[in-house]
Every structure is written in C-alpha cells, then in structure tokens.
Amino acid sequence: MKRLKFFAKENKDTVIAAAILLLFSVIAFLSSYLFFAVTILIASVAYCAYLYYRFNAKYRNVPVSSDNAMTTLTVDVLTKLGLPIIMISADDNVAWYNKAFAENKDYFGTIKYGQSCKELCGGTISHAALKKAKSHYDIKCGEKVFSVYPVEVSTMGNNYFLAMLVDASDRAQLETMLKNRNIIVGYAAVDNAAEISSYLQDSYRSTVAKAYTELYNWVTEMDGIVREYDRDKYIIFVDEEKFAPNINKKFDIIEKINNTVAGDSNRLTLSMSFARIQGSLTEKEAAAKSALDYAFQRGGAQVIVKTETGSTSYGGQIKAMERTTKIKSRVTADKLKELMISASNVIVMGHKNIDVDAIAAACAVARFAMELQKPINIVVNADDKALETALGLLEGLDEYDNVFVDRVRGQELLEPDSLVVIVDVSNPVIFEAPDIYKNAQNVAIIDHHVQTNEFEVTPLLQYIDPTASSASELMCEVLEQALQRSVLKTGEAELLYAGIMLDTQHLTRNMGVRTFGAAMYLRLDAKMLAKAQGLFKPDIREYTKQAVFRKNTVLYKDCIGISYYDGDILPENHLMASIAADGMLGISSVKASFALCTVGNNVHISGRSDGSINVALILEKLGGGGRFEAAATVMEETTMRQARERLHLAIDEHFNDKNGTGGNL
C-alpha cells in the first residue's frame, strides 16, 4: 500500500487521467450510452493495466520505504562495523552498543543496556563530554588510547549521542615519543656579576667555578649540553623527557648551588630560564632569553620556565644583592630622554590607591619632561588621600597647575606618538588607567617591585630593579644622570624624600648605599626634612584605626604577625594597613607581618618582612606581588574571614614548599 501511495504521488498526472476515464465510463453507463460506455471502460481497464505494469516494473525490488531501508541498512552497518560504537542517552545511560564494543571487554569492561556511563573509562564517555566536544577527543581505557568521535542523533523526541571509538594508541605513543624528544633551550647566568665580582674580588673566579661545576653535573645527568657563551653566562640544551622531573623537584639545583658557594659567599647566586614550548630553536632561544630577563627583574636566584600558557617561577628565596654601579641609571636616563624628545607629549601614571612614593616618582618624570619642554600630564584619582598631602608640598609651583588629570582626560590626551611612563608598578592589573596602557604605542616602566608576570608587549624602556628601596630612589638616580640638582624644585625634592621615607619605614629598613646616595642628591636641609616628615603624621581617626589594628594582632606560626581592621570600608584603609604591617615588625618575635583591611567590597592585604621571609612570594599566591620585604594584594568580592583563611593557606603552602624543597618556590 505504501508503494502504491508513493507511485501515485510520483505519477500524479497519469493517475488523474486514469481516474477521469473511469469517471467517463460510469457517466456513460448511467446515461444509457452502452456502446460508448463499454468502449471507455475497456480503454480505462487497459490504461490501468498499463499503469500496473509500470508500477511493478519500477518498484518490484524497492523496499516499502527508502527511509526505512536506510535505517535498516545503517543499523546493520553500525552493528557489523569493526570499530567500537556506543549510544548514550541524555541521562548518561547506555542505550545501545555494537558487537565490536562488547568484544573489547579488556578495555571497556562488561557492558549492559541501561548501565551508567560513569563506569565506562572513568566517566570520560558521557553525554556531557560528547556534547562539549567540537570534533573529537582522546581518552584512555586500560592500556589503550582511543579517539572518540561524537554524532548527535534524535529519535522519538529523545536526544542521543553515538560515540565511535578509534584506536589511537600508536599515534599517542608517537606523540609522547616526539614530546619527550622535544629540545628544551635554557639559559643560566650569575646574578649581578659586576657587583659580585667586586665584592668577592680574588675569590670570584673560584666561587663561580664551584657554581658551574654543580650546574654542569646537573645538566650532564640529564644527558644535556651546557656551554659558556659569554663571561658567566651559559646556554643549555636538554630533552623534555629528562627535564620534566625537575618540575616536581622544584629545581632543587638552585639550593645545591647556593649551598656549594655558601662557604665563600652567600651573595653569589644563579638565575636560569627554560623555554618549554613547541617551535623552532630560534623561537625557543628567544623565549628562554626573555624568561631570563624576567628572572632578573624578579630579583634573581630563581628559575623561570616558560610554557605555551605562561611562565612559572621557582626559587626566589634569597634576597637580591643591591646594585652599586650607576651604569644602568645612566643608560635609563639617556633612553628616557630619547623617548621624550621623539614623543608629542608625555603621560605618567602610577598604581591604583596611589601613595607618596608613586606621586613623587611621577613628579620626577614630570620635571624631566618639563626641562625638555614637553607637554606633561599625570593621571591620578582625585579621591586618593595621598594626593592631597603630596599637593601640599607642590603648592606654589605654577608648572603643576594643569598637570594632574583623571583617567578620562588622560585617554583624551593619548596620541599615536605619546609616551606613557608608568612608575612604582609593573602589574597592568593595578595600573591607575589600564586602558591608557593598552592603547599606548610607546610605554616606559620604572619600578622597584618584583615583576609578577611578563608583559604582553615589551615596553620600549623597562627599568625594574627590586633591590632599590623605592621608585623615588630610582628616579633620583635617573635625574642625577640627566639634570643638575639646581633644576629640581624644593617641593619636588621634599616629595622624593618623603617617597623614600615611606618605603624604608622612615629610613629604618630596606636601605643601602643607593638610598643614601639619593638623599645626598636631594640635599635637603633640616627645615625641608621636617616638612617631608610631616606628611606621615596621622590625624585622630587614623590614630584610632591603628589602635584597632594593634588590638586585632595575632601571632601565626610563632613568627608572623597578622592583624585586620573592618570597622569601615573607606579608601584610606589600605594606607592604614601598610602602616600597621610596618608597626608589627617592631614585635620581637615577628619576622613577617600582614595587615588586612576592607575597602568597598574588597579586602586589601599589606605584607612586610625583616628580610628573612619573602612576603612577595606569599602574596603572589593570592594574586598580588611586590618586593622581598614589602608586598600587597587585593582580594575582590571577599569577606574578611575568607581573606584571612586564604592568607593562612598561602602562608602554610609557602612554608611547606620551603621546608620540603629547601626553599625552592
């Protein structure tokens, strides 16, 4: 019957003609025209016989329905196909499987209809996994690897997924072999070789030789190659298979080298970098070189491993040696002058929640630009309290009347040839105006914090020195190489001194020869010193907040002070937290301190150290960063209780890593 309907539909005109003939014969009989009626009837019967012949001739061997035929054929093929195939229902149960799937019990186990897919290859063949897959994905069942190809089907109003499994064990084995044979390119270099050589004098070469022996033994144990290509600089080649175990060991080679040279000096350290990426040797070499620069920017004595997804650091437990030469300052001054001269205008900014150090460094850049007669603007947030106190020192300097602008005006001032100078910060997340940085074509960064991540676009000038006490100190060194002291205005000098005082806790911590050199360049008299120090006197509200911090102070792990304030959510609280963290270091048993405060919906954490604990590494685990002795972070949309719990976990992890690997983080 279905065939007949299909034939009638396909030969509509022919069937209608036959029906008309039959109708005429009926009419003829009813009208008593017998001869005419018989003639038409005979013709109709003959025509119908002809149609029946055509119908049989055309559809004698055709199935009842082509759709049904294809369905039957498809099921038959899938059933007999040698590839394992399984159909999964929307509720993650086995709806159907073919013979090949059932026969692979060694890999898939015993299969039953209605069985949960959680029992199949660790739940990797599920409705959700098949739906998520764009083309195919690999799974491991037993000792074999299969490529799973999903096909979505619908029937009777239900959705299913057919999963065809192709044995990919040989391909996976080949990929693993090729990956293991992937060449890792690395660099190693002595940190601040110029300063260390002058410090060690005659013993320098023998000390470096000991360090190189440890490095050479480590590389040769991996069947790798290490060669010195320049004085105290080495290039390394090693296979991925031999290199990978060092990740779990967290590169304890750094600690071995430190222990080897400890008898001669605890100042000589190595930094290393490795490019664990795919690509040509040229690309790997460039990536490894960039990663080594990153290690130096972070303070040295560590290993940076660059992968396809980013960079990971290991080590960094040793405080970097202070740089005593002024070569880099002179080079930076020359480069900054060159960039300013070629720029149409200069835009300067610091970090969010700006402090005196960032404002002072920005004003130093502004003075540099003013002397070159370049238009200069400093992007700030007018609500920052530190800005109000800093502007008090600049009062009377007409040059600054229109210098300070907000981020909206700063974006309007940005031109293709503008130079954007960023001071006291190197993390784009906490720039005062990240959009200006992203849209700028010419960027210079001057900072004294440990660089927490690599830049997407390398700045034209990158002067990041974690051994400096402050950004103000760095800018004093730059100005000393570029401008006469007489050019610097009194208010600017007082502001730079205040910036140094802020980050050295009133000249009591994190100081060096360079700090005093910067102070000498400023040449402040007693009256000017008193004026700068007056910036740090608290008002009554700040004084009472510090009392709350002291009341909430607890000792953690017998050496870490932790305090908090959550009485209000004012922006000034982050400054109160930094002061509280500094104050806790005055407690006899405290080696590191963390002060937490609430600002809006976020929790700010300030960390300080006496130099024995790297607070930057701890706060990096919470998304922040800084320097060995001073660091900070902001935990967004977090309660005080949650922030304290996460801080405890970060401290625990830091101490576990340090104790478990000899200080290799």
Tens of pLDDT along 361-378? 999 999 999 999 999 999
Q: Write down the pLDDT at residue 375.
A: 94
Q: What is the pLDDT of residue 96?
A: 81
Report the range of poorest mean pLDDT among 149-158, 376-385, 473-482, 602-611. Answer: 149-158
Res 316: pLDDT: 67
Distance CA 562, CA 507 (A): 23
What b/e string do you get for 418-449 counting C-beta neighbours within 10 Å, with b at 16 or more? bbbbbbbbbbeebbbbeebbeebebbbbbbbb
Q: Is the pLDDT of residue 219 over 90?
A: yes
- Provide the pLDDT for residue 387: 81
Give whichever of 5-19, 197-211, 452-466 has the largest mean pLDDT. Answer: 452-466
Between CA 450 and CA 297 the distance in angstroms is 6
Structural contact between residues 381 and 404, judged by C-beta atoms closer than 8 angstroms: no
- pLDDT band of 49, cuts 50, 70, 90: low
Tokens describing residue 300:
């040295």
As a whole number, the mean pLDDT across the chain is 80
| CATH homologous superfamily of 181-315 | Reverse transcriptase/Diguanylate cyclase domain (3.30.70.270)
The confidence band for 154, taking pLDDT boundaries of 50, 70 and 90, is: confident
Chain-centre distance of CA 285, in angstroms? 22
Q: Specify the higher pLDDT residue, 130 or 566.
A: 566
- CATH superfamily, with its number, for domain 327-536: inorganic pyrophosphatase (n-terminal core) (3.90.1640.10)
pLDDT surpasses 70 at 78: no
Those residues with Cβ within 8 angstroms of residue 1's Cβ, 6 or more apart along the chain or in another chain: none
Q: Is the pLDDT of residue 345 over 90?
A: yes
**pLDDT at 520 (0 to 100):** 82
**pLDDT above 70: percentage of residues in the chain:** 80
Residues 485 and 491: beta-carbon distance below 8 Å? no
- Report CA torsion sign: 334, 339, 341, 342: positive
Helix/strand/coil (H/E/C) assignment for every residue in 157-211: CEEEEEEEEEECHHHHHHHHHHHHCCEEEEEEEECCHHHHHHHHHHHHHHHHHHH
Mean pLDDT of 590-603: 92
CA gap 582, 586 in Å, rounded:
8
Highest mean pLDDT among 72-76, 96-100, 210-214, 656-660: 210-214
Residue 665 has pLDDT above 50, yes or no: no
- How confident is the model over 376-432, as pLDDT tens digits? 999 998 888 778 777 888 888 888 988 999 999 999 999 999 999 999 988 888 899
Span of 20-34, 181-195, 647-661 with lowest mean pLDDT? 20-34
Local confidence band at 45 (pLDDT 50, 70, 90 cut-offs): low
Contacts of 231 (CB under 8 A, 6+ apart): 193
pLDDT at res. 323: 57
Quick one: CATH architecture of 67-173?
Answer: 2-Layer Sandwich (3.30)
Per-domain residue ranges for the chain? 2-62, 67-173, 181-315, 327-536, 540-661
- Does residue 661 register a pLDDT over 50? no
**Amino acid 177: pLDDT:** 67
Region 52-72 average pLDDT: 50
pLDDT at residue 598 is higher than 70? yes
134 has a pLDDT exceeding 90: no
pLDDT at 271 over 70: yes
Segment 245-270 shows an average pLDDT of: 76
pLDDT for the residue numbered 65: 45
**Looking at residue 393, what is its pLDDT?**
83
Identify whether the C-beta of residue 336 lies closer than 8 Å to the C-beta of residue 444. Answer: yes
Say how many C-beta atoms besides its own lie within 10 A of residue 655's C-beta. 15
Structure tokens at 315: 């080590």
In this prediction, residue 640 has a pLDDT band, given cuts at 50, 70 and 90, of very high
Structure confidence at residue 75 as a pLDDT band (50, 70, 90): low
Residue 552 binned pLDDT confidence (cut-offs 50, 70, 90): very high
540-661 has which fold?
Diaminopimelate Epimerase; Chain A, domain 1 (3.10.310)
User: How large is the average pLDDT for residues 547-554?
Assistant: 93
Residue 590: predicted pLDDT: 93
Residue 605 has pLDDT above 90, yes or no: yes
Q: What is the 3-state secondary structure (H, E, C) of 10-59?
A: HCHHHHHHHHHHHHHHHHHHHCCCHHHHHHHHHHHHHHHHHHHHHHHHHH
Whether residue 560 is predicted with pLDDT greater than 90 in this model: the reply is yes
Tell me the C-alpha distance between 539 and 511, whole Å. Answer: 28
